Amino acid sequence: MAQRANLMNPRMEYLLERVDSKFTLVTLSAMRAREINDYYNQLGEGLGKIVPPQVTSVSRKPLSIAMEEIEVGKIEWTPLPTEEELAAAAAAEAAATEAAAASPDEA
C-alpha cells in the first residue's frame, strides 16, 4: 500500500537540497502546483498544453504533488544568469558576428 503524503513526507531537508533557499522552494512548488491545477481543470477541454503530473501520487492536492516532483528530481531549479554573465554572452555574440562579417564568404 502506498504511503499517504503528509506534512512530514517529503521531508523539507530533502527538498531544500534540491534548491538554494526556502523562498525558491516555495516559489517553485507554487508555480508547479498552479500548472498541475490548470492541467486538471482543462482535462475535459482537450487542450493538452500543460504538462501532467510527473509522479504517481496518492495525494490529490496539487501542492503535495508538486513537492513530490521536486523531491524525485522531475522538477529542477536553475538560477537565472547574472548581469555579468549576460553581458559576457552578449559581447561574445557580438564578437562572433563581427568575425563572421569580416571573413570572406567561401562559395
pLDDT per position as a tens digit, 43-86: 777 666 778 888 888 888 899 999 999 999 998 888 888 999 99
pLDDT of residue 5 exceeding 60, the answer is no
pLDDT of residue 13 exceeding 70, the answer is yes
Average pLDDT over residues 27-44: 89
DSSP secondary structure letters along 55-73: S--S---HHHHHHHHHHHT
Give CA 55 to chain center in angstroms.
15
